[in-house]
Amino acid sequence: MLDAVVVGAGPNGLTAAVELARRGFSVAVFEARDTVGGGARTEELTLPGFRHDPCSAAHPLGINSPAFRAMPLQRYGLEWLHADLPMAHPFTDGTAAVLARSVGETAASFGPRDAGTYRRLVEPFLPKWDTLARDFMSLPLTALPRDPVTLARFGLVGLPPSTWLTRRFRDERAKTLFAGLVAHVMAPLGGFATGAIGLVFALAAHARGWPVARGGSQSISDALAAYLEDLGGAVHTDYEVKRLDDLPPARAYVFDTSPTALARIAGFGTYYAGYRYGPGVFKVDYALDGPVPWTAPEARRATTVQIGADCAEIGSALRAASREGRAPDKPFMITVQPSVVDPGRAPAGKHVFWAYGHVPNGWTGDLTDAIERQLERFAPGFRDRVLARATAGPPELAARNANYVGGDIASGAVSGLQVLLRPKLSLFPYGTPHPAVFICSSATPPGPGVHGMSGHNAAKAVWRRLRQT
């Protein structure tokens, strides 16, 4: 009998398996698709030689993850690549605000009226970032935080809505960039704890950057799987699990799945019926004949580029997708251009690029034209550089990754108490009605992103139980 079986070979499932194997437990992972990866995959979606990331591409939380940092993943091929700028946010006048490694460069891009405000906002937390990140990514805490004073100060700033925090700024540049940071997790700008979301992304950039993985996000998953196998764990692909009886006997079962799928497989009925899914996304992967022709020079130096003219436009796009049940006319967009720093992703002189905008959960329309109209506002001539495109709306994204219910790449609405307490209002979010069954997906704290911390935290709960039985 195995000590633990993990269902789902995404970053969280693989991390949970690694954490258990490192402590001497026998563990096997079962994955429905023919390769490991979950939200960290790389595929040729458009033309031969163009390697695209179907979901996550830039990894501010990955490089800052306490779980990943404790593993020798570089030994297994993971290499982080950094552009000159972690992120840029261009405006229609041809200028841009930036999120740079340097607090000073970032502050200067906001203009003289907000530079000092930004410094005062982030500088107190940067010296203690590693401890703060570990405490924040371990919420809800089951033990005393390592630095309760700093965590409490962070909570005072971050727990209110982001709109409260951005009132500190006087001009639109800082407000807009910060609103875009919050929108990365598809959170409403006026929602609970959204200030913390924006702050975490900003601090992560200053601490260690927003890198891409050389060769694509698949290299993160491949490194985790290779490390697991060296520890004695096993990975089985092409193995779909429809019920618990499909799995070999084990002392514990850990699911890197949506709460909905777990309830169906384990027979939990309506246990997760109150779990809410958020808006979906519509994503386009591009093969380009050259770099994106951004008007703002700063955008040409960054791997991640946010697209939204101002706070009002970003807020309107989020409301359309999450509350009004329609696709926005001017979508707020996250875009990533990995080949700026990783030219091996495309043939010589060519580039890969992706962009997505928010749409209602389960939406079946086509947002391609709206996405490209937005891009043309900030990169005139973009369409002329398109060699091929691959589009994916909510149905296609859910087919690629079953955890993206209705195209929700955050694996659950990041709003209300569900920001911190997910998938149930519980201080033990990784447990289920069955004492031997656990959940470790992004539907558990600390939530979405390729960081493995949901798997790390769940593994702690599992090994405590295994030691007791």
Structure tokens given for 196: 């913390």
Contact 29, 234 (CB under 8 A): yes
Looking up residue 233, the CATH number of its domain turns out to be: 3.50.50.60
Tell me 126's DSSP state.
G
- Please state, as a whole number, how many other Cβ atoms lie within 10 Å of the Cβ of residue 241: 19
Contact 445, 412 (CB under 8 A): no
Residue 265 lies in a domain: yes
Give Cβ neighbours of residue 267 (< 8 Å, ≥ 6 apart).
Answer: 243, 244
Residue 209 lies in a domain: no
Tell me 429's DSSP state.
T
Residue 13 lies in a domain: yes
Cα 47 to its chain centre, rounded Å, is 26
Number of domains in the chain: 1
Tokens 């031997």, residue located: 436
pLDDT in tens for each of the 469 residues of the chain? 999 999 999 999 999 999 999 999 999 999 999 999 999 999 999 999 999 999 999 999 999 999 999 999 999 999 999 999 999 999 999 999 999 999 999 999 999 999 999 999 999 999 999 999 988 888 666 667 888 899 899 999 988 889 998 999 999 999 999 999 999 888 788 888 889 999 999 999 999 999 999 999 999 999 999 999 999 999 999 999 999 999 999 999 999 999 999 999 999 999 999 999 999 999 999 999 999 999 999 999 999 999 999 999 999 999 999 999 999 999 999 999 999 999 999 999 999 999 999 999 999 999 999 999 999 999 999 999 999 999 999 999 999 999 999 999 999 999 888 988 899 988 899 999 999 999 999 999 999 999 999 999 999 999 999 988 7
CA torsion sign for 43, 49, 51, 54 is: negative
Using CA atoms, how far apart are residues 255 and 7, in angstroms rounded to an integer? Answer: 5
Give Cβ neighbours of residue 185 (< 8 Å, ≥ 6 apart).
Answer: 197, 410, 414, 447, 448, 449
Residue 172 lies in a domain: no
Residue 7 lies in a domain: yes
Angle between helices 194-208 and 148-158 (to 10 degrees): 120
Q: Which of 21, 25, 22 is nearest to 1 (CA)?
A: 25
Residue 47 lies in a domain: no
Contact 15, 451 (CB under 8 A): no
Give Cβ neighbours of residue 102 (< 8 Å, ≥ 6 apart).
Answer: 206
Owning domain of residue 221: 2-42+214-276+410-468
Residue 402 lies in a domain: no
Contact 462, 15 (CB under 8 A): no
- Please state, as a whole number, how many other Cβ atoms lie within 10 Å of the Cβ of residue 232: 12
Residue 416 lies in a domain: yes
